[in-house]
């Protein structure tokens, strides 16, 4: 019996082949379980996009999971009278479980939510029970950044496009021996390891480097048309800025769910892979500007807190 290959033992060609193939298929499935968190202005102005949330089933119940600070920021601004989900046709009542220590909120509807037909709750049990395989795989983030939120004058309303980000886990210095840490710093200085103290023991970091390089066409030609460049500029620049937010950064992605592809289990072979292998693995809780990383709380940690609270 052969041992499945981890990410660091697979050739770059095989990794690219897998990620670019699976990365075009998986978003169509997971996007059905992702929605926007909207702030409702008290003066009747259009709803404002404030974050992302996951629709999922937990212990036989439907739930909405997002970053706790997304709700806190809405609550502390007097101009907002409440929050809504972009997928919900009407308001709803929930029993709320708030976990500030891990920056996660789980909202359990008190009654069925009237939602858009294309949305669905991610099924219970199709998630990682631990973060052990995260470093061996690639992950997919699906969310709604503020950069992709636009005001529609004819609505009037905010329209937002979902965003897919395929990446890997940024390793911590403590993951390697001193000899390996020195080697990595010498050979790959543009890929800094995360020092101790930056992340909590239950957190992981996603690669999200700012230097994305020039935008190119499928033929490899650099794009120079201004209108296209403005629409595809990095999320850190020219984004919509709301009250208490800086005008740059990947705002709106807080609460975005993260899935592990399942490449480890299928030995990085596209022919053996199916969307059934994907596992919900965590929720984005905040952006660390200094290290240019998105910090993720594993879903197993969220489940642990929820089981203790219920």
Task: Summarize pLDDT for 93-124 with one digit per residue, the tens.
Answer: 999 999 999 999 999 999 988 887 789 999 99
β-pairing, 169-170 vs 204-207, is antiparallel
Which tokens belong to 278? 């994907």
Q: What is the mean pLDDT of the chain?
A: 81
Least-confidence region, from 106-120, 154-168, 269-283, 291-305 = 154-168
pLDDT at 6: 75
Mean pLDDT within 71-89? 91
pLDDT at 285: 94
- In terms of average pLDDT, the best of 1-15, 55-69, 281-295 is 55-69
Number of domains comprising the chain? 1
Does the pLDDT of residue 220 top 80, yes or no? no
DSSP E strands in 144-298: the ranges are 149-152, 157-160, 163-167, 169-170, 204-207, 257-260, 279-288, 293-298
pTM score over 0.75: yes
CATH of the domain at 129: 2.40.10.120
Residues forming beta bridges with residue 80, ordered by sequence position:
41
pLDDT digits (tens, 9 = 90+) for 259-284: 999 998 899 899 999 999 999 999 99
Please, which pLDDT band fits residue 212 given cuts at 50, 70 and 90?
Answer: very low
- Whole-number Å distance between alpha carbons of 147 and 250: 7
Question: What's the alpha-carbon Rg for the chain, to the nearest Å?
Answer: 20
In-domain check, residue 202: yes
Tell me which residue of 5, 142, 123 sits closest to 62, measured CA to CA.
123
Please, which pLDDT band fits residue 226 given cuts at 50, 70 and 90?
Answer: low
Residue appearing with tokens 């998105």: 294
Mean pLDDT within 188-202? 81
In-domain check, residue 117: yes
Range of the domain at 258: 7-309
Does the pLDDT of residue 46 top 90, yes or no? no
Please, which pLDDT band fits residue 59 given cuts at 50, 70 and 90?
Answer: confident
Does the pLDDT of residue 238 top 60, yes or no? no
Phi–psi pair at 246, nearest 5 degrees: -75, 155
The overall longest dimension of the chain from CA atoms, in Å, is 65
- Whole-number Å distance between alpha carbons of 310 and 295: 26
pLDDT digits (tens, 9 = 90+) for 240-265: 444 444 444 577 899 999 999 999 88
Please, which pLDDT band fits residue 219 given cuts at 50, 70 and 90?
Answer: low
In-domain check, residue 1: no
For a pLDDT cut of 90, what percent of the chain falls above it?
39
Least-confidence region, from 40-44, 54-58, 130-134, 230-234 = 230-234
Which are the contacts of 16, defined by CB distance < 8 A and separation ≥ 6? none
Please, which pLDDT band fits residue 76 given cuts at 50, 70 and 90?
Answer: very high
Q: Are 258 and 143 in contact (CB under 8 A)?
A: no
Does the pLDDT of residue 29 top 70, yes or no? yes
Does the pLDDT of residue 75 top 90, yes or no? yes
């Amino acid at each position: 019996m052969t041992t499945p290959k981890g990410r660091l033992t697979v050739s770059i060609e095989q990794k690219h082949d897998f990620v670019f193939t699976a990365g075009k298929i998986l978003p169509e499935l997971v996007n059905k379980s992702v929605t926007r968190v909207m702030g409702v202005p008290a003066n009747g102005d259009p709803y404002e996009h404030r974050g992302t949330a996951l629709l999922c089933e937990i212990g036989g119940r439907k739930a909405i999971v997002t970053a706790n600070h997304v709700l806190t920021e809405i609550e502390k601004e007097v101009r907002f009278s409440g929050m809504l989900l972009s997928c919900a046709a009407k308001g709803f009542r929930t029993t709320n479980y708030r976990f500030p220590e891990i920056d996660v909120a789980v909202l359990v509807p008190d009654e069925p939510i009237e939602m858009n037909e294309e949305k669905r709750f991610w099924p219970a049990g199709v998630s990682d029970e631990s973060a052990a395989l995260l470093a061996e795989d690639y992950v997919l983030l699906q969310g709604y950044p503020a950069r992709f939120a636009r005001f529609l004058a004819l609505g009037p309303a905010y329209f937002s496009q979902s965003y897919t980000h395929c990446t890997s886990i940024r390793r911590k210095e403590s993951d390697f021996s001193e000899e390996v840490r020195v080697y990595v710093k010498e050979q790959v200085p543009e890929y800094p390891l995360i020092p101790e103290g930056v992340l909590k023991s239950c957190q992981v970091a996603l690669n999200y480097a700012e230097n994305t390089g020039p935008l190119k066409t499928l033929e490899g030609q650099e794009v120079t048309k201004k209108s296209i460049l403005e629409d595809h500029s990095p999320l850190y620049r020219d984004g919509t800025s709301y009250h208490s937010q800086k005008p740059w950064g990947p705002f709106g992605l807080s609460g975005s769910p993260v899935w592990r592809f399942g490449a480890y289990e299928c030995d990085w072979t596209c022919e053996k892979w199916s969307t059934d292998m994907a596992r919900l693995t965590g929720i984005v809780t905040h952006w660390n500007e200094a290290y240019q990383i998105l910090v993720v709380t594993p879903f197993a940690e969220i489940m642990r807190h929820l089981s203790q609270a219920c």
